[in-house]
Structure 1
Amino acid sequence: MSEFKPLSDTVFAAGQIAPDDIARAAAQGVTLIVNNRPDGEAPGQPDGETIEAAARAAGIDYAAIPIDSSGFDMARIAAMQAALGDAEGKILAYCRTGTRSTLLWALAEARGGRDPASIERAAQAAGYDLGPIRPALIELAEQAQR
């Protein structure tokens, strides 16, 4: 069972989830699951289709924005920003440990103009370090202000 760590009032990050986690997500008001983990990353990992089927069976929307070794490009950041903006309830984003999901959430929030310091405080409260992307957060937030 994966821990759902709150990044905001409406967004949770988690490590790899299993179909058994879907009912708990629904009970917590999750209306969108965002998969940030590429299929086949590790042996035994549930594939995206399995998670998607379980989510949809529970009435939860599903989006796949996998973050692989190529990293965080603007297309993925924009896709996450759109997912955050379009969801009508809570969002659960997951990857192997929750770190990539948190980093992508942070970049999307900065691209939307949110203050990088407040983003970093929220991530730290959930146990995640945004140090590796701090310069990108600042740059995206500055671009949003222009």
Structure 2
Amino acid sequence: MFRKIDDKTFASPQITLAEVAYAKALGIGLIINNRPEDESDDQTPGPDIEAAAHAAGMAYVAIPVTHAGFSMTQVEAMQQALAQAGDAPVLAYCRSGTRSTLLWALAQAKAGLNPDEIAAKAAGAGYDIGPIRATVDMLAAQAG
């Protein structure tokens, strides 16, 4: 259910409270919620996930991304969250895992990672960065 993007990052569709315990068992140190509240009636509310994460000794941050797209503020918040996690693995989730993966890709590009490498890692986890590839290329070029 959790898809490994790189050595430190996992993406996932919406998680449940039971999956918070599974994340802890995997050694996850930070859960990033990329899903806006009330996006669908069946989603577990972010504050419930946050409480379960904290109770399990994990950090939690919400960086909601709507279908309107990504802002530089969100990209920078994702970079900061990934940096603050240190060496601890991170689990980012949204409805399908796609927005979490795309935001991860943008954050990595802004940090100067090679766009082909970013695309390959996302593809290895089953996600396509095609819709944002031009932005990934631009951010990587600016960082380089």
For this structure pair, what is the TM-score category when the shorter chain's length is used for normalisation?
Answer: over 0.9
**Which residue does the alignment assign to 1:18?**
16
Backbone CA RMSD of aligned residues: 0.6
Q: Does 1:7 align with 2:5?
A: yes
Alignment-mate amino acid for residue 86 of structure 1 = Q
Give the distance between the partners of 1:86 and 1:143, measured in 2 at CA: 23
Equivalent residue of 2:121, what SS?
helix
Alignment-mate amino acid for residue 39 of structure 1 = E
Q: Which moved more, 1:112-121 or 1:80-89?
A: 80-89
Give the distance between the partners of 1:7 and 1:22, measured in 2 at CA: 18
TM-score by length of 1: 0.96
Alignment-mate amino acid for residue 42 of structure 1 = S
1:78 to 76, 79, 85: 76
TM-score by length of 2: 0.98
Query: What count of residue pairs does the alignment treat as equivalent?
Result: 143
**Which residue does the alignment assign to 1:58?**
56
Q: Does 1:31 align with 2:29?
A: yes
Structure 2 unaligned spans of 5+: none
Give the distance between the partners of 1:132 and 1:70, measured in 2 at CA: 13
Give the distance between the partners of 2:20 and 2:42, measured in 1 at CA: 18
Instruction: String of CA shifts for 1:63-117, please: whole Å, max 9, x gaps.
Output: 0000013310000000001111110300000000000000000000000000000
**Which residue does the alignment assign to 1:138?**
137
Task: State the 4+ residue runs in structure 1 displaced beyond 2 angstroms.
Answer: none
